[in-house]
Amino acid sequence: MRKCLRCNEEMTEGLNLVSDNLPSGLQITNKEIFANKAIKPKVCICLKCGYVELYIDNMEKLQKFSK
């Protein structure tokens, strides 16, 4: 459970960020760090104040790519 940094309310998690130009959504990638793989960030939003935050939900996968 994530808490909003602005109003301390519980945030809705697990949402995806999709661009009209990128139907697969936004991806974090770096050839040197992730070995040509991409990580898709997740989004959480506070339904009270509208604050939006990006996060990586599978840190094990990220750490595997960075080695």
Confidence of residue 60 (pLDDT cuts 50, 70, 90): confident
pLDDT at position 50: 95
Q: List Cβ neighbours of 11 (8 Å cut-off, separation of 6 or more).
A: 1, 2, 3, 4, 44, 45, 46, 47, 51, 53
Question: pTM (2 decimals)?
Answer: 0.68
pLDDT in tens, 19-55: 777 666 666 666 665 555 667 788 999 999 999 999 8
